[in-house]
């Protein structure tokens, strides 16, 4: 404590050894560290009280801090040969027309390890963070009013690092809820896959889209051509004109041969029995039937238009016939051949496009980068922060060190002579501050 004359005296309960007392009373006779140690030993009870109070406060602070959990995932980006164009297009959309940075990114993609930096940039993109904010309602979780503040908070709790040698990306998400930490880490992987698939603009993808549209058009044309051929065949009873013509020519030849034989037999019967004989009339009746069949098979002798128009009118009078006549077949062959050829062409095109479509889909699947997950995120079992014991000891050491520093500074300040300019300035500043604080307290009391 301090006496009236301003000199410091040792408290009765803080007796020192003779050597220590001499070092304190005569600082010039002892080294500097001995002087400081002696002074701190003199104030040991104060330092112990400070350490005890600091330890209690540090433990309270450490246990009041919320627990934080870390969930990590390790992924391996695909090689540069897979989906390079898709990733360049993805960053081109984010570059906002900055051709210089886009060229640098494209050059990095074509070089070694370009995909790793590229995928890290995609994970940090606003598209991924925006979907995660909406998916997990992070504005409410983080208690942020604006989405931009929520995105900054999400970026703060997300750590993305890469191994320069292997290119493996490690994604770590920190959260107070272990389940939400795992879900956020998995959400990053899901959004990355969707972003890569959505921005895939490879040549196979463009080819697949073109073939898909063309395939729909050809399919419609094929159905229309088949419908036209079906209606034409139903109207004119044409199934297979080549086979029908061959069959009808054979049938007509047989009927013509039978007619010749019947006529020769009729002439023989007339010479033997005369015209009134029953066998002669029977032969004549048989010849008439053969001639009617031949006439029916031959059809009308009226000419049909050469371009096939009017074929339906020409055959409308023979609607009761099972097959078209021989005279109609040559003229039905032209429109039938056109319709049949159209069906065959459309069917061939459809088959070729179908094969190309399947090949384009396979190639597109090869071009789409697939994120290989080495270690999937899991629910953390232990907290990652705060280290309560370490934090308590650290705060206690800091508080005790500050208290020791204050004691040493006060001791040095007392040793400065009263007429020293530094002490005079310090006293003036202290007096001014005390007056300001006193005036402020009076104003506060007056307001009350």
Structural tokens at position 358: 């399947």
> Tens of pLDDT along 174-218?
999 999 999 999 999 999 888 877 776 666 777 888 888 888 888
Greater pLDDT, 398 or 30: 398
Taking 50 as the threshold, does the pLDDT of residue 302 lie above it? no
Kindly tell me if the per-residue pLDDT of 82 is higher than 50. no
Long-range (24+ apart) CB contacts under 8 A made by 281-290 are 286/262, 287/259, 287/262, 287/263, 290/255, 290/258, 290/259, 290/262
Helical packing angle, 99-110 and 114-123, nearest 10°: 130
Region 151-176 average pLDDT: 91
Evaluate if residue 361 carries a pLDDT over 50: yes
333 has pLDDT over 80: no
Residue 158: predicted pLDDT: 94
Please provide the average confidence, as pLDDT, over all residues in the chain.
Answer: 75
User: What does the pLDDT read at residue 73?
Assistant: 93
Contact assessment for residue 200 and residue 92, using Cβ atoms and an 8 Å cutoff:
no
Closest CA to 345 of 214, 225, 215: 225
Tell me the C-alpha distance between 336 and 313, whole Å: 16
pTM: 0.49
pLDDT beyond 70 at 400: yes
Q: How far apart are CA 223 and CA 229, in angstroms?
A: 10
* Residues 206 and 367 sit within 8 Å (Cβ to Cβ): no
Contact 415, 94 (CB under 8 A): no
User: Which comes out higher in pLDDT, residue 295 or 102?
Assistant: 295
The three-state secondary structure class of 9 is coil
pLDDT at 368 over 70: no
What confidence category does residue 30 fall into, taking pLDDT thresholds of 50, 70 and 90? Answer: very low
pLDDT at 225: 85
Q: Is the pLDDT of residue 311 over 50?
A: no
For 377-387, the pLDDT digits (tens) are 989 888 888 88
158 forms bridges with which residues in the sheet?
A: 173
**Quick one: pLDDT at residue 411?**
83
Query: What is the per-residue pLDDT across 408-417, written as a single tens digit (0 to 9) for each?
Result: 888 888 888 8
| Whether residue 95 has pLDDT greater than 60 | no
User: What is the predicted pLDDT for the residue at 330?
Assistant: 64
List CB contacts of 151: < 8 A, sequence separation 6 or more: 126, 129, 130, 133
């Amino acid at each position: 404590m301090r006496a009236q004359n301003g000199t410091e005296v040792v408290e009765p309960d803080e007796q020192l050894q003779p050597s220590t007392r001499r070092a304190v009373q005569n600082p010039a006779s002892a080294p500097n560290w001995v002087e400081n140690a002696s002074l701190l030993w003199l104030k040991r009870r104060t330092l112990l009280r400070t350490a005890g109070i600091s330890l209690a406060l540090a433990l309270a602070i450490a246990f009041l801090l919320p627990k934080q959990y870390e969930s990590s995932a390790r992924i391996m980006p695909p090689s540069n040969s897979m989906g390079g164009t898709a990733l360049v297009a993805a960053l081109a959309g984010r570059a906002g027309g900055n051709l210089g940075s886009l060229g640098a990114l494209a050059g990095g993609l074509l070089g070694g390890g370009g995909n790793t930096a590229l995928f890290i940039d995609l994970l940090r993109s606003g598209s991924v963070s925006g979907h995660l904010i909406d998916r997990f309602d992070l504005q409410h979780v983080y208690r942020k009013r604006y989405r931009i503040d929520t995105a900054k908070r999400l970026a703060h709790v997300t750590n993305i690092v890469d191994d320069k040698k292997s290119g493996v990306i490690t994604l770590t998400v920190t959260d107070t809820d272990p389940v939400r930490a795992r879900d956020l880490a998995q959400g990053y992987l899901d959004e990355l896959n969707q972003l890569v698939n959505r921005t895939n603009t490879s040549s196979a993808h463009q080819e697949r889209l073109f073939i898909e549209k063309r395939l729909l058009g050809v399919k419609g044309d094929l159905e229309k051509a088949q419908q036209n051929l079906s209606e034409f065949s139903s109207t004119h009873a044409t199934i297979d004109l080549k086979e029908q013509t061959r069959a009808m020519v054979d049938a007509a030849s047989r009927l013509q041969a039978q007619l010749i034989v019947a006529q020769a037999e009729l002439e023989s019967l007339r010479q033997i029995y005369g015209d009134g004989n029953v066998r002669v009339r029977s032969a004549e009746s048989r010849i008439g039937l053969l001639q009617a069949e031949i006439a029916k098979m031959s059809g009308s002798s009226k000419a049909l238009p050469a371009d096939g128009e009017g074929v339906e009118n020409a055959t409308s009078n023979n609607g009761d016939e099972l097959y078209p006549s021989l005279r109609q077949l040559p003229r039905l062959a032209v429109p039938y051949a056109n319709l049949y050829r159209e069906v065959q062409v459309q069917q061939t095109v459809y088959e070729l496009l179908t094969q190309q479509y399947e090949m384009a889909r396979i190639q597109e699947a090869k071009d789409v980068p697939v994120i290989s997950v080495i270690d999937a995120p899991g629910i953390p079992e232990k907290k990652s922060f705060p280290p309560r014991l370490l934090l308590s000891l650290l705060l206690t050491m800091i508080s005790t060190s500050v208290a020791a520093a204050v004691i040493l500074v006060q001791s040095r300040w007392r040793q400065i002579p009263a007429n020293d300019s530094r002490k005079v300035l310090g006293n003036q500043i202290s007096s001014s501050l005390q007056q300001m604080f006193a005036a402020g307290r009076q104003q506060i009391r007056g307001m009350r």
